[in-house]
Amino acid sequence: MKGSQARVAERLHNAGTSRTRAAVPPSAWRLPAPLPPLEDAVQGLPPELWAVMSRRGLGRAADLANLLEPPEPPEPHEHFPDLERAVARLERAASAGEAVAICGDYDADGMTSTALLSGLLERLGAKSQAAIPSRREEGYGLNRAMVERLAAAGTRLLITVDNGVSALEALERAADLGLDVILTDHHTLPETPPPCLALLHPSVTPEGSPYRGLAGVGLAYVLAAALAHRLGRRDGLEMALELFCIGTIADMAPLLGVNRRWLRQGLPRLGHTRLAGLRALIRLAGLEDVPIDAEAVGFQLAPRLNAVGRLGDPLIVVELLTTTDPRRALDLARECDALNRERRDLCQALEAEALALLEADGPAKPAFVLLAQSHWHHGVIGIVAARLVERLGRPVALLGGDGTGRLRASVRAPRGFAVDQALRACSSLLERHGGHAAAGGFTVAAEQVAALQERLEELAGTWLRQHPEGPMVEPEALLRLERIDLTFWRELQRLGPFGVGHPMPVFWSVGCRVDEEKRLRGGHLRLLLSQGGAQRQAMAWRWEGEEPLPERLDVAYRLRKDDWQGQQRLVLDLLALRPSHQEADGVVLRRGDRLYRCALRQEDLVIRNAAGEEVTSRLTWEGMWAHPQSDGAHPYVRALFQEAVMALGLAC
């Protein structure tokens, strides 16, 4: 390199300023670093997929083998200390025909958990009763009034699913009334263990246990399977496994450990389920003739169940998933479908109203967006808050009235802003609050809202100053459009199911020409992109840009197979786009508002800034990968070389 690397790096940084403005809304991109040479044993994966797995720490043959065929888990009795006690109590209840109350939650995880245990206990001889609180009138989880109603009706055994560990008052009342309580829950355990007969919770398992990622429905399945094995009655477990798949995916549990093993066993069965309710739901979702994968569950089946918990009576879902009458199942599925349409309409109207309120406050957006309307429905404000986070790249709280002078809120935030910590910092202004890093909720008196907004603005302002990039897109592998075909798709599906902990890969393609551009109803954008003689359709959902797109784009996306009207095609679901500066003699990299021209000169990679200054690195080739010899370079220059190698298509 010419001169001091530190001085050259500084001049490259300061001189590479562009005066052009892109029509595409800005988004920060972070490209991966080039990988070491391809290993021999990669399970036959295409190099782009091996690159993804390697960047996730799964590039070795042994790691891939465990992903493709998760190992047999240990016996659950070895990892759940109270499981034997719980099974013994349920065995007595089944043999005596005892009434057992299943106290669930009103989300898909809680409703499938309730249906799973209710259905299995009925088959084994117990008399199960589903009990789920009203979202609007009672709120989340087991409560004192519910315990007293069940005790008065003669119930002596109560099982919580997907809730219960924080219901101290209700549990103490159950003890006073002589009720045995089996707690199955995956929410944060309090410091003092809750009083109960038995506790099944992921955090009581040993460190590193494959059961650590179970959602509520997974714990219900562990309990159901252990009881069925004890009684020598495996009938019903197949259907329990199907409900496990629905609830686990709906709750966005990590698809690792036993979750992954059981999903790979259960998902293929959904298409020919014997559950009348699931068959009816699949029919209404238009999934009768297509393989049902994790994406179909997450985007087609789970929303229809969650809509009931948000807007209607969750016992509708429990009955749907336990009935054996096909006609009744179809009627109940239609109710779920109608509530889902209502939920979509409510979300659309609420989002439009929230955006109008935001516009009325002027062009400057607050660091923390807090909006309140007394009529906003508590069942959908969380969905809309998440959509606003995607639009604005900053934390959002939406508040609706509860009819008593207080407001209940749902909070969502971009990655990096800790919702739970922010709410704890404001706890003196709140009546109650809870949540985790990405999402939470609170109740606040109306007179405290102004002070709360000021406090949250201050916290978010500090965070935004430390994270000026805004939303970040992080592609995992470079993929050319001509590589995208059904063979590649089948190889990609080998790595599934995808979800939390193992998401669908994010690919990117550079220098794609825009052949067609069409705005669709609902604010979506459909593109026809071409590269190297291949054309692929792409969708930008909920697109906000108004100006025409540039002729060439770099696109970041996830792949989706579309089976519309019997025609199979692969579609790029766009996460981000940016103007492409790829040219015949190289590429132009953008770093903020600075541009750098990168090109190959025989075996050298050359980067030039706007002032004409150049830095050069010799490339070494190992197999199909190119590596810049830049280990001694200034960190800023070294990062530029790595990005240039990726942008030129010299590494996946």
Q: Of 446, 374, 434, which Cα lies nearest the Cα of 410?
A: 434
pLDDT of residue 17: 35
pLDDT of residue 22: 29
pLDDT of residue 244: 97
Quote the Cα angle for 521-308-433, to 5°: 100
pLDDT of residue 6: 44
What integer is the mean pLDDT of 381-407? 90
pLDDT of residue 156: 94
When pLDDT is cut at 50, 70 and 90, the band that residue 271 belongs to is very high
Question: Tell me: the pLDDT tens digits for 126-150?
Answer: 889 988 887 666 666 788 889 999 9
Residue 69 has pLDDT above 70, yes or no: yes
What integer is the mean pLDDT of 469-487? 87
Distance CA 478, CA 649 (A): 7
pLDDT of residue 510: 87
When pLDDT is cut at 50, 70 and 90, the band that residue 27 belongs to is low
pLDDT of residue 432: 83
What integer is the mean pLDDT of 166-181? 92
Query: What value does the mean pLDDT of the chain take?
Result: 87
pLDDT of residue 3: 39
Q: What is the dihedral of CA 398, 402, 403, 406, to 10 degrees?
A: -70
Sheet order of strands, 157-161 included? 127-131, 99-103, 157-161, 180-184, 198-200
Find where tokens 């006073």 sit.
176
When pLDDT is cut at 50, 70 and 90, the band that residue 404 belongs to is confident
pLDDT of residue 138: 63
Q: Of 498, 273, 311, which Cα lies nearest the Cα of 303?
A: 311
Residue 536 has pLDDT above 80, yes or no: yes
Dihedral (CA of 410, 416, 417, 420) sign: positive
**b/e per residue, 26-52, with b = 16+ CB within 10 A?**
ebbbebbebbeebeeebbebbbbbbbb
Phi and psi at residue 496, to the nearest 5° = -80, 180
Distance CA 257, CA 259 (A): 5
pTM of the shown model: 0.83
Residue 10 has pLDDT above 60, yes or no: no
Residue percentage of the chain with pLDDT more than 70: 91
Residue-by-residue DSSP string for 134-198 = -TTTT-SS--HHHHHHHHHTT--EEEEES--TT-HHHHHHHHHTT-EEEEE--SPPPSSPPP-SE
| Count of Cβ atoms closer than 10 Å to residue 623 Cβ | 10
Question: Tell me: the pLDDT tens digits for 220-249?
Answer: 999 999 999 999 988 889 999 999 999 999
Which domains can be identified in the chain, with CATH numbers?
Answer: 5-56+476-647 (2.40.50.460), 76-268 (3.90.1640.30), 365-470 (3.10.310.30)
Q: Are 281 and 303 in contact (CB under 8 A)?
A: no
Per DSSP, the three-state class of 407 is strand
Q: Are 262 and 217 in contact (CB under 8 A)?
A: no
Q: Measured between alpha carbons, how far apart are the two ends of the chain, in Å?
A: 26
What integer is the mean pLDDT of 482-503? 92
pLDDT of residue 12: 42
Question: Tell me: the pLDDT tens digits for 313-356?
Answer: 999 999 999 999 999 999 999 999 999 999 999 999 999 999 99
What type of residue is 284?
L
What integer is the mean pLDDT of 181-208? 92
Token digits of residue 201: 């919770």
When pLDDT is cut at 50, 70 and 90, the band that residue 11 belongs to is very low
What type of residue is 642?
Q
Distance CA 536, CA 552 (A): 14
Distance CA 231, CA 410 (A): 44
- For 38, residues 6+ apart whose C-beta sits below 8 A from its C-beta are 47, 50, 623, 624, 625
Per DSSP, the three-state class of 355 is helix
When pLDDT is cut at 50, 70 and 90, the band that residue 441 belongs to is confident
